Structure 1
């Protein structure tokens, strides 16, 4: 118990004083090692070895590739093409541009795999268009922020890659298990948008003609092939998820540079530099989490947690409720990627002792953490959209409150109806 308190207490203290997450994990791990051995005999060679071991993973190469895809999509103007497809499809419904916002996020999700990329790339396009058509800026920002959470649910997904690598489960299965939850999120959000739009009297646009829809599809057809290439390639066995991400990068760069001619050599170099910086920040977290997970295993902290919960919780339903509340709380204070590295080594052995499918719970955990992205006080997507929309934080919070209903509704459904997650992988990966 002492080791448990030192490990988690030191981590929380370091995070509270502003130490970056990766270094906080390393610092907390060293504190535990020092407690047991003394600072003068801490095995620093082992510390270095374990941190380096954490980033020595072929699977995790998919992360910089998906980050690069998101930046390529934003830089090349593909966001506008995706938005136009969605507008021609559902723009005529009550609260049409709200539906367009959700649908375009759904489409863009299959390309970037990142909620922040969605909010930062599509966000300005969505908010400007909605405000120009008479929607309140706060409502436009709220729809944009909440729909961005679909990004890491619909495959491909950076969190799914991380979870699959850490939990040692099929990344393709996590991808496929996310499809139905992502569709549920989108449909529930569109239902809420229609309800609010009807109450506020938001405008109804003219239905796009078939020729307009066809032109939008032709203009955006090549980008929306990206998720199809990734999923088909993985399911057919042509390439692994990591190789799929590399193929998608080459494809996106090709259409941006040679088909649309919106990507120059200088802009591509700048995008690569920015992606390298983002990747380096993630690698520090990955390295720190590897050492942290090793300390958890070395001193049997995970086993102690499992034994404690097993002695006090017999019902799988109660355990799922407790874990959901715990992960939601963590997601309010820690960004989704660090939270995955922190929680997965602890949670996966626990759920397996209760017979819970790790694919099922992986999707549940990712959705939990996506809700955290639009929840104060950290809420990365929340602050990204606030900056893009230039709205007061209090107004954004007030407008986004109703959108927790579809998010929590989807979370409850997939938590207690596992086949909503497991059905598609069981059919396609049989």
Structure 2
């Protein structure tokens, strides 16, 4: 900041604008977190995680099937809902189910994040597409066409991680975590 003032790149007006934009962004993130926390509390009070757990454990017969269903669910939801809200809403519900299937929490976390990442890169809402569109000053359709080739390797990696959990857990096991 001091160097910005010295080189006259950062004026009081630009600093004020940056602080205002930061405050707006922080406030919107906090609203998302508050709303997700309230929704999570309501879902916990209504015992939705327990119901979902019994539904999934009754209908799915393996950890791999659970992770595939979770990946598809998060990919679809990620295309419509912000990642922060989705993490705050879904992880407290799905993590207990994952532990019932003896899925390592680290493995579950990696699959969750990768699935959400794919969802954020797909229309109709794909939040990352809109961010890239505004930064690059390009139409969202052009950005999606540019991003599409990267969805294939991400999908392949996601499937490899689901079917071969050792890929995720081998390094932490070796270093004693």
TM-score normalized by the length of structure 1: 0.37
Counterparts of 1:337 and 1:319, CA distance in 2: 22
Counterparts of 1:281 and 1:370, CA distance in 2: 20
Match in the other structure for 2:160? 413
Match in the other structure for 2:79? 332
TM-score normalized by the length of structure 2: 0.84
2:56 equivalent to 1:302: no
Contact 1:335 1:372 in 2 (8 A): no
Shift of 1:306: 0.5
2:141 equivalent to 1:362: no
Matched ranges for 1:265-414 at <5 A: 266-414=13-161
Q: Which has the higher contact order (CA 8 A, sep 6+)?
A: 1
Counterparts of 1:394 and 1:258, CA distance in 2: 39
Contact 1:374 1:382 in 2 (8 A): yes
SS of the residue corresponding to residue 61 of structure 2 reads: coil
Shift of 1:329: 0.7
Structure 2: 5+ residue stretches without partners:
none
How many residue pairs get aligned? The number is 177
Counterparts of 1:370 and 1:260, CA distance in 2: 39
Counterparts of 2:111 and 2:6, CA distance in 1: 39
Shift of 1:263: 4.6
Counterparts of 2:154 and 2:109, CA distance in 1: 16
Shift of 1:313: 1.0
Counterparts of 2:73 and 2:24, CA distance in 1: 31
C-alpha spacing 1:260/1:308, structure 2 compared with 1 (3 Å): farther
Structure 1: 5+ residue stretches without partners:
1-252
Q: CA RMSD in A?
A: 2.7
Contact 1:372 1:379 in 2 (8 A): yes
C-alpha spacing 1:388/1:419, structure 2 compared with 1 (3 Å): same
Counterparts of 2:155 and 2:117, CA distance in 1: 11
Counterparts of 1:258 and 1:415, CA distance in 2: 51
Counterparts of 1:426 and 1:295, CA distance in 2: 37
Deviations 1:249-286 (A, max 9, x none): xxxx67x6599885555544432332221111111121
Counterparts of 2:149 and 2:42, CA distance in 1: 41
